[in-house]
Amino acid sequence: MKFKQVTLDNGLEVVAEVNPNAFSQSLGYFVKTGSRDETMDIAGVSHFLEHMVFKGTPRRTSVDVNRELDDLGSQSNAYTSEEQTVYYMSVLPDNQHPALDLLTDMMRPSLRDEDFQTEKQVILEEIAMYDDQPPYGAMERAMEEFFGEHPLATRVLGTKDSVSALSAEAMRQYHSERYAPNNLCLAAAGAVDFDALVSEVDKRTKHWTPSRVERTLHKPLTEPKQIQMIHPPATQQYTLEFSPGPGTMDPDRYVSRVLATILGDDSGSRLFWELVDKGLADAAVCYTYEFQDCGVFGLYLAGDPEQQQDNWELIQSIVSQSDSHPITERELELAQNKIAAGILLSAERPSNRLFSVGGAWVSRHRYETAAEVSEHYRSVSLEEVQKAFERLKARTAVRVSVGPDTAL
Amino acid sequence: MQQQVYQHTLPNGLTILGEPMPWLESVAFTLMFPGGTAREPHDRIGLAGMTLEMTQRGSGRWSSREVVEELDFLGVDRSSSVSSFYTSISMSAMARVLDTTFEVAAAMVREPHFPEDELEEVRQSALLELSSIEDDPAQKCFVELKRSRFAEPFGRSSLGSVSGIEAVSHEDCVAFHQAHAKPQGAVLSIAGRFDWQDFLKLVDRYLGSWSGGPATDLGDVEPRIGSIHIPHDSQQTHIALAYDSVAYQHPEYYRGRGIVGILSDGMSSRLFTEVREKRGLVYAISASSHSLKNCGSVLCYAGTTSGRAQETLDVTMETIRSISQGIESGELSRLKSRTRTSLVMEQESSASRSSQLAYDWITLGRTTTRQEVLSEIEQLTSENLIEHFQKHPPKRWTLVTIGPEPLEFQDEV
């Protein structure tokens, strides 16, 4: 396993974890753009653009793009988050050249008006699909309330109104700024011919010109809030709580994730034993989200609306027990083993390594082996995790609850 | 594509299958035994799932809490599930912890404690899980499609029914486990990094004295046709559709599966192209092959806002039928290329190989090799696919919709 990295003259970065013994290779363009880089009038453009990237280029129609992706026998897809838009495919090593040609060409889509109008309908369907799922609506609302004026408040999908009003011209403008080579990273993992990869991508992107891309970074000013949403067709009640946590650059993120695992993993955690195992709640978990300048420590509860108030109080008491029930050595060891094993098991597939390698490079400019990352979790001390637990008592929290009536 | 599959049958009837993948650090095993939902008493629907949950609340030398702690300590990724005819337990981990991991799994089957004081907790969890699908109409649509198409007792959901879950007693769980967790008809598969002889010794130690007769045959599955609408106050209408196809053990299975591939595999597939790309009717559309014993079906899903639901259903059915008008050579070559790639990539996952081995065994009574699947796929031609489609046209349709309004549906062809 070898790490290789090159920055092309136009600013495009190429990184790869090369494993000559792998059966396949995975390739992906990580575009450093997402919903946090949008203004309100174009909310949803990053995600909509991600769909449009599959709709053809000057060299290929949308049918050509889809056919070639399938011709390569690839497992391919894309996703958009708050901070990244990622296009990826897994192919047999023999297909490196055509896969790279296709993926690189797709980064310069035609963005034709007619395709734009058709695809807008698909996006509106996607928004409607999530609108019918009450926990998703609560999550979007919690992001908005937690981040307030901060750019991370923007919804990844946008809204029905913002997407309906979006013009193809505004999307073209956004693309030309955000898909500049100095805002892209080509990542690869598995049986990759790195030298060939670099020389091909250099040849194909030589004429791409860099642009000035910026991202506003600052900590959000979170105010404590409690929001109640009503979704009459809902059967269960869903409650989320967001409080500040470490970001992607913060070394405390390992501690925070270990704490979330001990308190609220979906199995074997304190919330699991007290709520889920006892049949009180359908789900009761803790989790962390990390962003470039900040992070979120989240709590999530789903269950019977009539039991929600009692369950929520129970969760609150469990996460406030740092004095009466400090974290034990045994809890720390179990959480560390679980996290480390998960990292090492998933690292067997190049398609999983792609996201670790590309994600770490884009957010931290660092290469981290799976063993290194698991070692970071193993080196978290009892004292560190106990301190993080103690800090939870004074957290500033935004709570959003949705259900059939005002149960919580 | 070199591949070796070991096979051994213990005197008690348990079949053991093993596929070494020495290039991996991980190992995965799957244990399936005939304890599915179709074997539940008609007034205890949900019993199979509750019994499985009870077996995980303490077994052998571990208490309920110790089971979870032991598996977390070892770093084991695990899952368990109930289908119509089988109960299945799967675990994957680093090879060095195989022995204890296997001991835990074997104890769940051989020596569950069935703690009586935890039954109410299991019941409440089951009721909550059942109610949670009400907020996930796409998943509910599939549960209802299977219930409607495969009828009693084959169409039961592993989530159970409210009355069934409420009626289950401690004795029911113990009796269900004793009656169905038996080595005859069960299969244990392992894939990844392991030594076959050592594994056989391990299995013999923990499952060698397991005993019990064969499972009774429940008869053939006969699909039911017709349509059901479930009113729901949602923006989208969820459409789940099923029609006849050939089952996994059918000699022409790969032709049937090939046609489904042309309809639904990849972004250039016909359904994706016609329904989503050209018309923008949906975000999600898919079709898949489904085998329930002798009964082969294709199951489709589409979700769309209500005003466009009728058009979506009509275009979906039209696209399925369009296979009779011909298959392009490009469609066929893409299907073959996708299959070749996925067969190679299969070698990267011990978990997916172990579950495939077990599935092949219970469905076909043998294992299949990558070479065999590849050769079946390479033999597909536009002509033999069309011929198959004409011989086994889409018929006996079942439709379930969830949304504001029912759709017009004509069961024909």
Q: What pLDDT score was predicted for residue B213?
A: 84
What percent of chain A shows pLDDT beyond 70? Answer: 99
Nearest to B344 among A69, A71, A92 (CB): A92
Beta carbons of A125 and B122 less than 8 Å apart: no
| Domains, chain B, with CATH or none | 6-207 (3.30.830.10), 226-403 (3.30.830.10)
Q: What average pLDDT does range B139-158 have in this prediction?
A: 97
What class does CATH assign to A2-205?
alpha beta
Report residue B193's pLDDT band, with 50, 70 and 90 as the boundaries: very high
* pLDDT band per the 50, 70, 90 thresholds, residue B359: very high
Q: What is the model's pLDDT at position A181? A: 98
Q: Which residue of B has its CA nearest to A350?
A: B348
CA distance A296 to A298: 6
Chain B contact for A336, CB < 8 A?
A: no
Chain B interface disruption, residue of A52, A121, A310, A354, most B CBs within 10 A = A121
The answer to whether B350 touches B192, Cβ cutoff 8 Å, is yes
Of the candidates B159, B179, B165, B147, the one whose C-alpha atom is nearest the C-alpha of residue B82 is B159
Decide if B132 and A282 are in contact by the 8 Å CB cutoff.
yes
What is the distance of C-alpha A140 from the center of its chain? 14
Question: Given a cut of 90, is residue A74 above it in pLDDT?
Answer: no
Instruction: Give the A:B interface size as CB pairs under 8 Å.
Output: 187
Residue range(s) occupied by CATH 3.30.830.10 in chain A? 2-205, 225-403
Answer positive or negative: Cα dihedral of B273, B279, B284, B290. Answer: negative
**pLDDT value for A73:** 81
Phi-psi region of B165 (alpha: psi -120 to 50; beta: other; left: phi over 0): alpha
8 A C-beta contact, residue A205 and residue A271: no
Kindly report, residue by residue over B304-325, the tens digit of the pLDDT: 999 999 999 999 999 999 999 9
pLDDT at position B413, please? Answer: 40
A21 touches chain B (CB under 8 A): yes
User: Looking at residue A369, what is its pLDDT?
Assistant: 97
Task: Return the HEC string of chain A.
Answer: CEEEEEECCCCCEEEEEECCCCCCEEEEEEECCCHHHCCHHHCCHHHHHHHHHHHEECCEEHHHHHHHHHHCCCEEEEEECCCCEEEEEEECHHHHHHHHHHHHHHCCCCCCHHHHHHHHHHHHHHHHHHHCCHHHHHHHHHHHHHHCCCHHHCCCCCCHHHHHHCCHHHHHHHHHHHCCHHHEEEEEEECCCHHHHHHHHHHHHCCCCCCCCCCCCCCCCCCCEEEEEECCCCCCEEEEEEEEECCCCCCCHHHHHHHHHHHHCCCCCHHHHHHHCCCCCCEEEEEEEECCCCEEEEEEEEECHHHHHHHHHHHHHHHCCCCCCCCCHHHHHHHHHHHHHHHHHHCCCHHHHHHHHHHHHHHHCCCCCHHHHHHHHHCCCHHHHHHHHHHHHHCCCEEEEEECCCCC
Report percent pLDDT > 90 for chain B.
97
> How does DSSP assign B289-320, residue by residue?
EEEETTEEEEEEEEEEEGGGHHHHHHHHHHHH
The model's pLDDT over A270-311, given as tens digits with 9 standing for 90+, comes to 999 999 999 999 999 999 999 999 999 999 999 999 999 999
Is the preceding omega at residue A350 within 30 degrees of 0, hence cis? Answer: no
The answer to whether A308 faces chain B, any CB pair under 8 Å, is: no
Please identify among residues 220-259 of chain A the ones whose CB lies closer than 8 Å to any CB of chain B. 232-236
Asked whether the ipTM of the predicted complex exceeds the cut of 0.85, the reply is yes
**Considering CB atoms only, which of A133, A334, A341 is closest to B94?**
A341
Dig out the tokens for B62 from the structure. Answer: 């571990």
Q: Tell me how many degrees the CA angle B279-A79-A267 measures, rounded to the nearest 5.
A: 120
CB contact under 8 A, A135 and B135: yes
Correct CATH for A225-403 of 3.30.830.10, 3.40.50.300, 2.60.120.680, 3.30.70.960: 3.30.830.10
Angle at B178 between CA B172 and CA B179, to 5 degrees: 85
How many whole angstroms separate alpha carbon A62 and alpha carbon A119? 11
- Residues of B50-62 as b/e, b for ≥16 C-beta within 10 angstroms? bbbbbbbbbbbeb
**Chain-chain contact of A24 with B345 (C-beta, under 8 angstroms):** yes
Chain A residues lying within 8 Å of B272, measured CB to CB: 66
Residue B14 has pLDDT above 60, yes or no: yes
* B62-101 residue pLDDT tens: 999 999 999 999 999 999 999 999 999 999 999 999 999 9
Question: Taking CB atoms and an 8 Å limit, are A24 and B69 in contact across chains?
Answer: no
pLDDT of residue A408: 60
C-alpha distances (whole Å) from B267 to each of A11, A52, A73, A92, A112 are 31, 14, 11, 18, 19
pLDDT by residue (tens digit) across A101-151?
999 999 999 999 999 999 999 999 999 999 999 999 999 999 999 999 999
Q: Does A337 touch chain B (CB under 8 A)?
A: yes
Contacts of B341 in chain A (CB under 8 A): 24, 72-75, 90-92
Residues of B in contact with A262 (CB under 8 A): none
pLDDT band for A75, please (50, 70, 90 cuts). confident
CB atoms closer than 10 angstroms to residue A193: 17
